[in-house]
Structure 1
């Protein structure tokens, strides 16, 4: 096993601390409203050192989203790979976790795709592409699990697994925005019921 030099390891850890701090703040405030110094203060990193870790705020935003989706997809994989449960049960477990995540802070949630999607897609092409890559990976996992549900008989859909996965993800994303607007989980509860009907689960 090759070990990184101590200085390189510390640099990588500090970089990740900055990304983690930015994720916590931007989940509440959005992207444009957050300054670099606020992020550095939250991460306990000296002011003026930002460009040692990131060449620009644009590349920082791209790295932030990639880091977020890496963690999100790892959590999603754990939920969708639970042993001893049908594909339909694993899918509904995932949606339940989504609902719980969006219930934080009076339904303001913690999902950066919900919080930043519309905002940064107009600001940065690299961030838009990072969002596209991350959300495409989510939809691909849903598609695979729906296909597994067709095989184990726990799911039945009218269209293809890919079409159904995309419709479900779009629906949940929209419901999450509405939950933020209404400060209520009602849109997500309605979407849960519709999801069950679409999957015949």
Structure 2
């Protein structure tokens, strides 16, 4: 059983790296399996289809992302406002990284899989909802502890800021410039004021 998990994990790890560079549709199964060092016939032992593989890839990414997000937004040495802003500073750094694997798959694949796979789209949608819920909770904690000024609707604000960052990340990718991400960071600081 351990060998099976290792092989499946190898396919997903290789797929994550290739997808970060080429997108989901840009990675053919033969390329994926050659890079992973897995015999072609083995793929269907682990995944019923390329879509099932894509769902597994996104599910694994969202699980890992959720763990990192939770650690970031519950950091015991920072107040809630600092945790919120630090999360987006980290987003900015990762999206500007020359290592494409550092960048967020949600940003990379949202438009690509939206019409391609309802199942993959659902995984992304649930992941985004969870992220926004964590962000809203952090804003509420900041209000409660007095590090964030009173907000009209923390959930709506978290959603709007997250959407702004998705858009800024796409513009940064298109323009190969940090301008949109810097503007998003400035806007985030202004939208989440200290009291």
Q: Distance in 2 between matches of 1:131 and 1:187?
A: 23
1:154 alignment partner, SS class: coil
Q: What's 2:103 paired with?
A: 110
Q: Distance in 2 between matches of 1:66 and 1:117?
A: 14
Normalised to the residue count of structure 1, the TM-score between the two structures is 0.92
Unpaired runs of 5+ residues, structure 2, are: none
Q: What's 1:121 paired with?
A: 114
Match of 2:127 among 134, 143, 155: 134
CA gap of 1:18–1:157, structure 2 versus 1, over 3 A, is farther
Q: Deviations over 1:7-60 (max 9, x none)?
A: x12211211221111111111111111101211122221222110000011111
Bigger Cα displacement from structure 2, 104-113 vs 16-25 = 104-113
Q: What's 1:150 paired with?
A: 143
Q: Distance in 2 between matches of 1:25 and 1:157?
A: 44
C-alpha contact 2:171 2:180 (8 A) present in aligned 1: yes
The alignment covers a number of residue pairs equal to 194
Q: Distance in 2 between matches of 1:88 and 1:146?
A: 7
Q: What's 1:196 paired with?
A: 189
CA gap of 1:160–1:51, structure 2 versus 1, over 3 A, is same
1:65 alignment partner, SS class: helix
2:98 alignment partner, SS class: helix
| 2:155 counterpart of 1:162 | yes
Match of 2:91 among 91, 94, 98: 98
Q: Distance in 1 between matches of 2:36 and 2:68?
A: 23
CA RMSD in angstroms, aligned pairs only: 1.6
| 2:68 counterpart of 1:89 | no
Unpaired runs of 5+ residues, structure 1, are: 1-7
